[in-house]
Chains A and B, each alone.
Chain A
Amino acid sequence: MPTATQRTSVPVIIDEDKCIADKGCTVCIDVCPLDVLWINPDTGKAHMRYDECWYCMPCEADCPTDAVKVEIPYLLR
């Protein structure tokens, strides 16, 4: 079965200037209940790799540098 790639806007936004994932921090990645945050291999920073968000906010609340912002997913907004 052939597949397509489809773009989707994601609700978790990382401020790459503030994010210190490239220095070894994985707090937001660790706490996400849905495991949707990963290190972006191109930048070394955290990013939302899967659009599977419960907008529950531990990533934002626990980030030590205030780099994470959780928006309401577009379909719900």
Chain B
Amino acid sequence: MNASDIPVIDVDVLVIGGGTAGPMAAVTAKEQDPNLKVMLLEKANVKRSGAISMGMDGLNNAIVPGHSTPEQYVKEITIANDGIVHQPALMAYAQRSFPMIEKLDSWGVHFQKDETGDYDMKKVHHLGTYVLPMPEGHNVKKILYRRLRRHRVQIENRYQATRLLKDGDGRIAGMIGVNTRTAEPIIIRAKAVIMATGAAGRIGLPTSGYLFGTYENPSNNGDGHAMAYHVGADLANLECFQINPLLKDYNGPACAYVTGPLGGFTANSQGERFIECDYWSGQMMLEFFKELEGGNGPVFLKLDHLAEETIQEIETVLHTNERPSRGRFHDGRETDYRQHMVEMHISEVGFCSGHSASGVWVDETGATTVPGLYGAGDMASVAHSYMLGAFVYGQICGESAAAFAKERSEMPALDEAFIAAELERIQAPLKVTDGIPPAQMEYKVRRLVNDYLQPPKVTKKMEIGLQRILAVREDLPRLQATDPHELLRAMEVQSIIDCAEMAARASLYRTESRWGLYHYRVDCPEQNDSEWFCHTRLYKDDNGNMAHGKRPVAPYLVELGEEKDAYQKLRVQKAANA
């Protein structure tokens, strides 16, 4: 098939990814100007795609007047992320957090309120109060879908974006992709593009060995990270891995954010609390890891001391929202919160700014380093964003992209040679006979990520891992897809290999330890602010090689003061006479 045989679809704003940030971005672009042609492209189906396909049980970073201020929030996240944040981007989020809650409330998303009608805020973070439960949060996706229809956003389901396109001036020009059920290619020309492709959650292997038993929705496999890299955008701080405390084997969140305010906590095998704060930070994860591997391990979620009505409330929330098959998992093992602590473990590694801080670099306008390309949600670099951050940056990107598209008078010119080469890359696995199945190649590269890149990180191991990952890359000409579905997986495994290589190289570049377990480098165990108080950049250089650099941390808007080391002191201190 030649590029000239494929009709080019023209839009003003293209949004890639229809999970959380994507629908908000598309609706916002339409709100800016209903005459803009806005397309939302989704690899699955917008009705049930992304991280919140079954809803969400709470906001983990709500800044609600009377409970906290944007300044307090920016300070806390800066401290929790060891100082390496872009405060202007955090502040833009923090200031829009409450208006976004009110907007979602007006759309019909139910948040928990107290008897006076005030939002029922809970304290989970080390310093401030930012958690807002939403026990009826299972319908978020339905509400978003209604908004998309109302604003007449054009939706294209079951299309996988494979590469972004640029014009001769280096500005974004659109994307090329493929239908996941027919293997038909698609070319979309766009004046502005918003990426909302989610985390890179399928680069490590869950300890269960089940390829799709990941913490993240496995459709979030890092396609966006790979596409951003190949189009020349900067990625930031990729060595700051996401590693989360989860229910062992089930690999879903234990949900200390839900259970903590009700009296549950993370305990060791003695049933004792060992961390002061269950908020997910690298420092907390390091203490978790030490307890897991130590003589008092493993680690458990402890609820068995709670009253019957409290446990029923917890079960109602956890077994109907976000990951509702959790109840079924417990039933299968006859685990009852009333009688048993629930065994926990740590997740496979990944890139996810929703809980950690790595991703495609964006500033406070959602802009990447490629003009006209924006990023929102788990794939973009704004630290600790969670669901509300995805909504807010979806909105910010929707505004920015609409403005960029309106200023651009002509549709961009397309690079025919690049498109032809990409069509060939897409179709190649279908032409291979007697080749390697995608699942086998995927298992291999993800197992290498576990063996060599999972913290504690060791330089020599990471060097070996990088070489082994590159060896898998050399097998790509033998990658075979026997049907369109296998082609989807074959394209995904190429993104996974890209992300695995980026994870290795980024981790080797930062020769210090930072972010607790996330970048705990055994042979460089100290945090070294004189050399590494900076963001790290990873990008494709002019020769097509993976290159690194440093980006200075922008001057703080909020100083940290005497609380600056608060997240370094998370382990429960034993009394001297204990």
Instruction: Find out whether the CB atom of A34 lies under 8 angstroms from the CB atom of B328.
Output: no
| Closest residue on chain A to residue B323 by CB atoms | A56
| Closest residue on chain B to residue A72 by CB atoms | B329
Contact indicator per residue, chain B 194-209, by CB within 8 Å of chain A (1) or not (0): 0000000000000011
The one of B217, B478, B485 that contacts A54, using a Cβ cutoff of 8 Å: B217
Instruction: Find out whether the CB atom of B217 lies under 8 angstroms from the CB atom of A33.
Output: yes
Contacts of A44 in B (CB 8 A): none
Instruction: Find out whether the CB atom of B218 lies under 8 angstroms from the CB atom of A55.
Output: no
Instruction: Find out whether the CB atom of B181 lies under 8 angstroms from the CB atom of A35.
Output: yes
| Closest residue on chain B to residue A50 by CB atoms | B485
Known: A53-B212, A61-B54, A76-B250. A34 touches B329 (CB 8 A): no
User: Is B44 located at the chain interface by the 8 A CB criterion?
Assistant: yes
Closest A-B pairs by Cβ, 7 of them? A58-B48, A31-B48, A33-B44, A75-B210, A55-B325, A52-B212, A76-B249
CB distance from A59 to the nearest CB of B (A): 9
Contacts of A57 in B (CB 8 A): 54, 324-325
Instruction: Give the CA-CA distance A49 to B157 in the complex, in Å.
Output: 20
Interface 9-residue window, one of B224-232, B357-365, B430-438? B430-438
Contacts of A71 in B (CB 8 A): 328
- By a beta-carbon cutoff of 8 Å, the part of chain B in contact with chain A is 44-45, 47-50, 53-54, 157-158, 180-181, 208-214, 217-219, 249-251, 323-325, 328-329, 332-333, 434-437, 478, 485, 488-489
The one of A35, A58, A61, A73 that contacts B158, using a Cβ cutoff of 8 Å: A35
Contact indicator per residue, chain A 33-77, by CB within 8 Å of chain B (1) or not (0): 111000000000000011011111110011000000011110111
Instruction: Give the CA-CA distance A5 to B346 in the complex, in Å.
Output: 33
Instruction: Find out whether the CB atom of A34 lies under 8 angstroms from the CB atom of B44.
Output: yes
User: Is A32 located at the chain interface by the 8 A CB criterion?
Assistant: yes
Contacts of A34 in B (CB 8 A): 44, 212, 218-219
Contacts of B44 in A (CB 8 A): 32-35
CB distance from B505 to the nearest CB of A (A): 29
Contacts of B53 in A (CB 8 A): 33, 56, 58
CB distance from A26 to the nearest CB of B (A): 10
Instruction: Find out whether the CB atom of B47 lies under 8 angstroms from the CB atom of A31.
Output: yes
Instruction: Give the CA-CA distance A71 to B45 in the complex, in Å.
Output: 22
- By a beta-carbon cutoff of 8 Å, the part of chain A in contact with chain B is 1-3, 30-35, 49-50, 52-58, 61-62, 70-73, 75-77
Instruction: Find out whether the CB atom of A52 lies under 8 angstroms from the CB atom of B211.
Output: yes
CB distance from B331 to the nearest CB of A (A): 9
Instruction: Give the CA-CA distance A49 to B485 in the complex, in Å.
Output: 10
Instruction: Find out whether the CB atom of B332 lies under 8 angstroms from the CB atom of A54.
Output: no
CB distance from B88 to the nearest CB of A (A): 34
Instruction: Find out whether the CB atom of A75 lies under 8 angstroms from the CB atom of B213.
Output: yes
Instruction: Give the CA-CA distance A44 to B420 in the complex, in Å.
Output: 38
Contacts of A52 in B (CB 8 A): 211-212, 218, 489
Instruction: Give the CA-CA distance A72 to B333 in the complex, in Å.
Output: 11
Contacts of B329 in A (CB 8 A): 72, 76-77
CB distance from B161 to the nearest CB of A (A): 15
Instruction: Give the CA-CA distance A32 to B249 in the complex, in Å.
Output: 22
Known: A1-B478, A72-B328, A77-B332. A58 touches B218 (CB 8 A): no
Known: A35-B181, A58-B48. A76 touches B210 (CB 8 A): yes
Known: A30-B47, A52-B218. A70 touches B325 (CB 8 A): yes
Contacts of A62 in B (CB 8 A): 48
Contacts of A70 in B (CB 8 A): 325, 328
Contacts of A56 in B (CB 8 A): 48, 53-54, 217, 323, 325
The one of B47, B213, B219 that contacts A73, using a Cβ cutoff of 8 Å: B213
23 A-B residue pairs with CB within 8 Å: A30-B47, A32-B48, A33-B50, A33-B53, A33-B217, A33-B218, A35-B158, A49-B485, A53-B212, A54-B212, A54-B213, A54-B214, A55-B213, A56-B48, A57-B325, A62-B48, A73-B208, A73-B210, A73-B212, A75-B208, A76-B210, A76-B213, A77-B329
Contacts of B47 in A (CB 8 A): 30-31, 58
Contacts of B213 in A (CB 8 A): 54-55, 73, 75-76
Kindly list 19 other residue pairs between chains A and B, CB separation below 8 angstroms, not including A35-B158, A57-B325, A75-B213.
Answer: A1-B434, A1-B436, A2-B434, A3-B437, A32-B44, A34-B212, A35-B44, A54-B217, A55-B213, A55-B325, A56-B48, A56-B217, A58-B54, A72-B325, A73-B213, A75-B208, A76-B329, A77-B249, A77-B332
Instruction: Find out whether the CB atom of A54 lies under 8 angstroms from the CB atom of B208.
Output: no
Instruction: Find out whether the CB atom of B45 lies under 8 angstroms from the CB atom of A72.
Output: no
CB distance from A58 to the nearest CB of B (A): 4
| Closest residue on chain B to residue A70 by CB atoms | B325
Instruction: Find out whether the CB atom of B219 lies under 8 angstroms from the CB atom of A33.
Output: yes
Instruction: Give the CA-CA distance A68 to B471 in the complex, in Å.
Output: 42
Instruction: Give the CA-CA distance A1 to B437 in the complex, in Å.
Output: 10
Contacts of B45 in A (CB 8 A): 30-33
Contacts of A54 in B (CB 8 A): 212-214, 217-218
Instruction: Find out whether the CB atom of B251 lies under 8 angstroms from the CB atom of A76.
Output: yes
